[in-house]
Amino acid sequence: MKNIPAKLTGPRYVKAEHIAAIYNISKEIVYRWAKSGKIPCVRFQETVRFSESAVRSTIEGGEQ
């Protein structure tokens, strides 16, 4: 098996729909949480993406 470059093994960025499915909430709630700063997000041009691991640790870790 070939070595995977380090830059391809970083955080996984997903859509709001993915986060909503994990926590059984609407994508509108995901966007609302992101806008209020409750969960971290990043913007890539016209889209918003969420680091799956950062959101998971924020929500499950109880960070505010």
The whole-number pLDDT of residue 36 equals 96
The reply to whether 7 falls in a domain is: no
Helix crossing, 16-23 with 27-36: angle to 10°?
110
List pLDDT tens digits, range 26-37. Answer: 999 999 999 999
The reply to whether 4 falls in a domain is: no
- For the chain, the domain total comes to 1
User: Phi and psi at residue 20, in whole multiples of 5°?
Assistant: -60, -40
The whole-number pLDDT of residue 4 equals 60
Q: What is the extent of the structural domain holding 40?
A: 12-61
The whole-number pLDDT of residue 64 equals 47
The reply to whether 2 falls in a domain is: no
Please give the average pLDDT of every successive group of 10 residues along the chain, which has 64 residues: 63 93 96 95 92 91 64
